[in-house]
Every structure is written in structure tokens, then in C-alpha cells.
Chain A
Amino acid sequence: MEAAQILPILSVAIATSTPLIFACLGETITERAGVINLSAEGTVMLAAMTGFAVAKTTENWGDISLLLGFASAAIVGVLIALVVAFGALTLKQSQEAIGFVLALLCADLSSFLGSNFVRIPGPTVPSFPIPWLKDIPLLGALFFQSDLLVYTSYLLIFLTAVYFYRTRAGLMLRAIGEQPAAAFARGTNVILMRYFYTLLGGALMGIAGAAFALDFKAGWSHRHTAGYGWIALAIVIFGGWNPLRVALSCYLFGILQSLASVAQSTIPDVPTQVFTVAPFVLMILLLVLTSSDRLAILLKRLPPIVSRITTQTIQSIPPAALGKVFEQD
């Protein structure tokens, strides 16, 4: 394939990945704090519906309608996350059960409440090429000729990574997911912090919903974002709970998706289902490889540098306290 063919594939990939970047980084933040928000599928869908409905209703107000759409989607995400956090952290019930019920409930809620907004044109995020940068050959066309939402996602990746690994607060965030008892002994209010990060993650997942309905899959229809929430959960695992790797995995998924549409015409022998199923198979394989000791045994035979780099790139170990109840007295 030539560069001229690859470029459109990659730009479609970035467009497909952007909402997932928000959803996956949100889930990453929540899970690193030790809480699984399994409601992603429902959260993204209900937030997409709400974001579209609000932006559509306020369409005459001008550009502010888009902002209102994103804000309301984020609020929906926060509210759903609040239910997860309350059930999991205050009532100490199974996070998986509550998240799962919410995933189904909110998906159905989005169909029930959004029936008046099905398949009508609505406002979309305008494109916004960045002056000068957009003229860089290749890179400009790829990264700097989209809209503010895409640029925000770049910024979000960078900020999340810096926050996780270069700030004290980020250290505490990782601590409450790994060693909540130790973090508590050092004076951190583990439950409060977990509430905060669950809500923050929920807000980002809500924004992901709006990113679908107001930008990359503009509009609303029955189960408009079906599947993306589950995919987001898989990508977080595939990315090993590390924001940079999670973001890369999102782009990898985007490339797979845009390849799928190209492959249909160029290599018809490969069934397209391969591309949609691949992320899940890869996730499971990676989990099998890294959660059992087999990989470690295998890597020990390699030279130390190689084994260290491989471990860092593909290791996928969940936060130690993920999904566990923490008794704080």
C-alpha cells in the first residue's frame, strides 16, 4: 500500500478512536482507583442520547448548544457513576452487579427517552484546522485538520499520563487502587477519593457518548453506540491500565475498524467479522499470557533488556485492589 492509501485509513482510525479515548481514559482512571464501572455500555449510550437531545433542543442558541450537549452528557455520566460509587463504596455491594444492571438499564432508558430524537439532523462539532500546523506534510493532514474535540483528546491523553506518573495526586490515585490500606494509613480518605475518581471517570465516559452523537457518529438512533462501551472495557485491559498504552490501544482498534471497511473490497477472502472480534480475542489472549506465569517464565530465557522491554509493553496486571471492598473505619 502507498502513502496515499494509508493516510485516509489512518485519519478514519483517529476519528473512530476519539470517542473511545474519552471513554477508555475515564474507565482507566476509575479502575486505577480500584473501582470497576461496568456500566460503560449504558453510560455511553444514555449520555449520547442526552447530549444529542440537549444540543438539538437548544440548537437555535448557536454554538453554546454544543457545549450544553457535552455538559449534559458529562452530567449523565457523573450521575450513573454516582450510583455505582454509592452501591459499591457506601453500601459495599458487588460493583460488577450494579454496573452491569446499569449497563442494561441505561441502554433501555436511552431508547425509551430518546424516541423523539431518532434520525433527525442535529448540530455537530465544526471542524477546526489549526493554522500553520495543518500545513505540515502528512502529519498536518493526519493530526491537525480535525476539530477541537480531537485536539482535546490529545491533551487528555497527555494530561492523564502526566497526572498518573508525574504528580503526587496521581501517585495517591494509584495507591488507593493498589494498596488502599497503606494509603489510608498515610492519611488518605480512600472512600472519598474513590468517589471522586469514579465520578470523574463517569464524566469522561459521558463526554465520549456526546462525542459519538455530536461528532463522529452524528445523530441519534435506537442503540446508537451499541457495543462501544463493552469495547472500551476490553481496551482498558488491553492497555494494561496505563493511559498511554490505553490510548495506543484505542488507535489500534480504530485502525482495525477502518481496515475492516477497506478489506471488504480489497481482500474479500478475509471475513470482516475477524476485525470486529479481534479486539476481544486479543484482550483474552493478552490476559491469559500476562496473568499466568507462563510469559514470565518464557521471558526469563531472553536477554534482560529484551525481557524488560517486552514486559513493560505487554504486561497487563490489574490494580491489586480492583473491585475489592475497602473497609475504612
Chain B
Amino acid sequence: MTKSFFYQISSFAIALIILTGMILLSGASPLAIIASMWGGAFGTLDQVARVVSTLAPLLLCASGLLFTFTAGLYNLGIEGQISFGAIVAMIPIRLFQDVLPPALVIVLAIGLGGVGGALWGLLAGALNVYGRVNEIFAGLGLNFVADGLALYLIFGPWKKEGVASMSGTETFHESLWLPTLANTDISPISLLLGIAAVVITLVVLRGTHFGLQLRAVGQNLRASYVLGIPSTRQLLSAFAICGSFAGLAGSLQVLAVYHRLIPSVSSNLGFLALLVAMLIGLNALLILPVAFFFSALNVGSLQLPLELNLESSLAGVIQGMLVLFALLGRGLSETLPPQAIRRQIAIWFDKKQTAKG
């Protein structure tokens, strides 16, 4: 614990040093950036609300990804699972918005969104398990297919009255929008779903037989198969669970955020959740704080172009750097224990001594 802790802290520090250097080189002041981002994330109630509303889909996706990571899978198809969930969530809205009571339509849309995401995830899973296609490439390919499908719908069958545009489909009636807390962006339902996902993930992965089997499959697929764990079913369930969480996130993007289907409705949330999942390893307890931090970075960075004339993509740079160095630090702690470094330094020091003498 202490050893890996040491490496984690140092990798964190190195990432921060490099970031500071980069910011200084680009002629900006790191302190001004921190102040501006802090203000951007927590300055007003609206901004805090935006942080919280970005948090909900992130919690869902990161929780789902913990299942696939536990099973040893890189579910890069999560972006497509969000998009497909959003697309499927649109179906009941378009069909029943004038027929059924709004509350029922909302429930249907959320539910079907989850089912859609699960199906898209299962498709990647089936390609992986039965077609022996690497899940990374299957997932990446399916992301583009889902995005293409959304674009096709927006410019084809579901196009706006009059002229189709990149701004998406027609905004649907306000009665179908997820209710928000007093004029802010916070949707209690989204947030509850997100937190429920984290709790379910914690309980299932740590406290159930299924979680144990999933871990066995992830650690050694062959061995778990030989031991009689239904590994195919485990892998497919991991894909389906992750897909359904992502699909829920997609339906929330439609119901609570955009109130219509837009191109690239996933807004890179899936990839951001992948970064969260990679940073925390397999520790579900860390989902909430890390996802909150990443969400605050994203929202806070929107202030940078306004105040400091800097690109808001700095948030992505910070997130990427942290994860990259966490991965490298983890690698260092495995291949290069501190004793080895100390020994190396001692040898080097000895050489210097003998060279002098």
C-alpha cells in the first residue's frame, strides 16, 4: 500500500509539474487559471448546478465501465452505447408524446434508453465473444456506426420541420423535460440514477457471487473457464450492464440536457468516464470524488476563454495528464520498486566515489 501510494503521489506531482511548466511556457499564469476554473465551477449557483448535472451521466458511465474493466475488457464502445441509448429513448417520445401521460413517456424513454444501450453493448460483446473481434476495435467501429445512425435520423426521417440542421431534431414538449431543482440544471432524477449506479456497482462487485466470478474472469479468462465459471455469460453480462448504464446516461442527455436528439449526443462523456475509470483502477469508492473533480474541471474550464482567452480544452489536457502519469506511475511501482532505485543510486554513487579515488 505505502509503496504504490508513494508512486501514485509522485506521479500526481510530476503530472502537475509538467502541466505548470506547459502553462507557464504558453505565457499564462497557473494561479490565474486555477482561480478562473474554480470560479467557473463553483462561482455561482448555476455553475455548481452544471457541475452536478454533468456528474450524473459520468457516474453512470464510470460505474458501468467498472464492470467491463473488472472483466478485463476495454469497452471503448461506450460512446456508441450512450448515443444508441439516446436514439432509442427518442422512440417513445416521438411515438407517444401526444398519447400517453408525460410521466409514463419519461419512464418509458429512460427504460428503453437503458435497453438500447445494453443491446449496443451486447453487440460489441457478441462480436468479441462469438466473432473473436477485439472489443476495442469492435467498440470503436460501433461508435461511428451509432453516430452515423444519429446523423441519418437527424437529417432524414426525424428532421426538423422545414430544414434539417446540425442543431438536431425538433425540441420536444416541456412537459417531457426531466424536472430540475428551482431554475438550475440539476435534475434530481438524473443524480439519483447516477448515485444508484455507483451503489449498485459497489455492492455487486464487492459483495456478490457474480462480482467474484467477474473478477475471476478478468484476472484469468482461461483459468476461470477451466474452473467452470460460465465465462461467456460473464463477459456478455459485463457488456450488457455497462451498455445499459451508458444507455441510461444517453436517455438522460436527451431528457434532461438537450431535450432533443443532437449529433454526437454523447458529448465525449463516455471517453471522459473511461479516463475516470482508468484513474481509479478498480476502486468503486473513488468514482464519486474523481468524477466530481473531472466534472468540475470540465465546467470550470468554460470560464477560461471568457476570462483569460485560453482554450477550454485545458480541462482535457489536465485530465489526460493525470491519467497518463497515474498509469505510468502504476507501471513504475510494479517494475521498479523503491529499493531498486535506492540500489541504483548507491551503485551510481559508488562509481563516482571510485572514479574520484
Which residues of A pack against B, CB within 8 Å? 38, 83, 86-87, 90-94, 96-98, 100-102, 104-109, 111-113, 115, 227, 230, 233-234, 237, 271, 273-274, 276-277, 280-281, 283-284, 287-288, 291-292, 318
Nearest A residue to B329 via CB reads A91
A292:B311 contact, CB within 8 angstroms = no
Assembly CA distance A247 to B108 (angstroms): 47
- Identity of the chain A residue whose Cβ is nearest the Cβ of B135 in the assembled complex: A96
Q: Which of B137, B138, B321, B335 has the most CB of A within 10 A?
A: B137
Contacts of A111 in B (CB 8 A): 311, 313, 316
> In the complex, which residues of chain A have a beta carbon less than 8 angstroms from the beta carbon of B335?
90-92
Contact B327 A284 (CB under 8 A): no
For the A-B complex, the count of residue pairs with Cβ-Cβ distances under 8 Å equals 132
- The answer to whether A113 and B144 touch across the interface, beta carbons within 8 angstroms, is no
A104 touches B316 (CB 8 A): yes
Q: B133, A112: Cβ atoms under 8 Å?
A: no
A112 surroundings in chain B (CB, below 8 A): 26, 310-311, 313-314, 317
Q: List 9 A-B contacts (CB under 8 A).
A: A90-B335, A91-B328, A101-B323, A105-B317, A113-B26, A234-B140, A277-B144, A281-B145, A283-B141
**A113 (CB) vs chain B CBs: closest residue:** B26
Give the interface segment out of B146-154, B244-252, B342-350: B146-154
B316 touches A108 (CB 8 A): yes
Residue B160, interface by CB 8 Å: no
Which residue of A104, A113, A115 is within 8 Å of B320 (Cβ)?
A104
User: Does B76 lie at the interface of the complex (its beta carbon under 8 Å from any beta carbon of A)?
Assistant: yes
Asked if B330 and A233 sit within 8 Å, CB to CB, the answer is: no
Name the residue of chain B whose CB is nearest to the CB of A108. Answer: B316
* Chain A, Cβ-Cβ closest to B330: A93
A102 contacts B324, CB within 8 Å? Answer: yes
Q: A87-B327, A111-B311, A291-B132 are in contact. Are A100 and B76 (CB under 8 A)?
A: yes
Q: Evaluate contact between B145 and A280: CB separation under 8 angstroms.
A: yes
* Binary interface encoding of chain B residues 309-339 relative to chain A, with 1 for a CB under 8 A from any of its CBs, else 0: 0110111110111011001101110110000
In the complex where A288-B131, A291-B133 touch, is A100 in contact with B74 (Cβ < 8 A)?
yes
Query: Is there an interface contact between A115 and B311, defined as CB atoms closer than 8 Å?
Result: yes
Q: By the criterion CB–CB under 8 Å, are A284 and B132 in contact?
A: no
Could you list 13 further interchain pairs (A-B, Cβ under 8 angstroms) beyond the known A87-B328, A276-B148?
A38-B136, A83-B324, A87-B327, A91-B332, A92-B331, A101-B278, A102-B324, A104-B316, A234-B141, A273-B149, A273-B155, A284-B133, A292-B132
- In the docked arrangement, what's the CA distance between A97 and B320, Å? 11
Q: Which residue of B lies closest to A293 (CB)?
A: B132
- Cα of A143 to Cα of B145 in the assembled complex, Å: 33
Query: What is the CB-to-nearest-CB distance from A239 to chain B, in angstroms, rounded to a whole number?
Result: 13
> How many residues in B have their beta carbons less than 8 Å from beta carbons of A?
46
Q: Which residue of B lies closest to A234 (CB)?
A: B141
Do residues B320 and A108 form an inter-chain contact, with CB atoms below 8 A? yes
Which of A92, A98, A105, A271 sits near B334, CB closer than 8 Å? A92
Q: Is there an interface contact between A291 and B76, defined as CB atoms closer than 8 Å?
A: no
A residues within 8 A CB of B269? none
Main secondary structure of the interface of B (DSSP, over half): helix
CB within 8 Å of A: which residues of B? 26, 74, 76, 127, 130-134, 136-138, 140-142, 144-145, 148-149, 151-152, 155-156, 271, 274-275, 278, 310-311, 313-317, 319-321, 323-324, 327-328, 330-332, 334-335
Which chain A residues border B314 with CB–CB below 8 Å? 108, 112
CB of B133 within 8 A of CB of A288, answer yes
Given A87-B327, A276-B148, A280-B144, A287 contacting B156 (CB threshold 8 A): no
CA distance A101 to B141 in the complex (A): 18
Alpha-carbon distance A281/B334, docked complex (angstroms): 39
Q: Are A271 and B327 in contact (CB under 8 A)?
A: no
Q: How far is the CA of A176 from the CA of B172 in the complex (A)?
A: 57
CA distance A38 to B334 in the complex (A): 23
Assess whether B328 is in contact with A105, with CB atoms less than 8 Å apart.
no
Contact A96 B327 (CB under 8 A): no
By beta carbon, the residue of chain A nearest B141 is: A280
The docked-state distance in angstroms from the alpha carbon of A106 to that of B324 is: 11
Contacts A87-B328, A93-B328, A115-B311: A292 and B131 contacting too (C-beta < 8 A)? yes
How far is A271 from B334 in the complex, measured between Cα atoms in Å? 51
Verify B317–A281 contact, CB threshold 8 A.
Answer: no
Contact partner of B152 (CB less than 8 A), chosen from A92, A94, A234, A271, is A271
**A residues in contact with B315, CB < 8 Å:** 108
Complex Cα spacing A108 to B138, Å: 24
Please determine whether B331 and A87 come into contact, CB atoms closer than 8 angstroms.
Answer: yes
Contact, CB under 8 Å: A287 / B26: no
Taking a contact as CB atoms under 8 Å apart, the answer to whether A233 and B321 are in contact is no
Complex formed: what's the CA distance from A101 to B332 in Å? 17
Give the distance in Å from the alpha carbon of A197 to the alpha carbon of B76 in the complex.
Answer: 25
Which 6 pairs between the two chains have the least Cβ-Cβ distance? A105-B320, A91-B331, A108-B316, A277-B148, A111-B313, A280-B141
Instruction: For the complex, give the distance between the alpha carbons of A102 and B321 in Å.
Output: 9
Given contacts A91-B328, A112-B317, A284-B138, A230 and B144 within 8 Å (CB-CB): yes
Closest chain A residue to B76 by CB distance?
Answer: A100
- Report the Cα distance A102→B140, complex, angstroms: 16
A90 to B334, CA, bound (A): 11
Closest approach, in angstroms, between the C-beta of A259 and any C-beta of chain B? 16
CA distance A263 to B141 in the complex (A): 23
Shortest distance between the CB of A52 and any CB in chain B (Å): 16
Cα separation A273 to B146 with both chains bound (whole Å): 11
Establish whether residues B324 and A107, one from each chain, have CB atoms under 8 Å apart when the complex forms: no
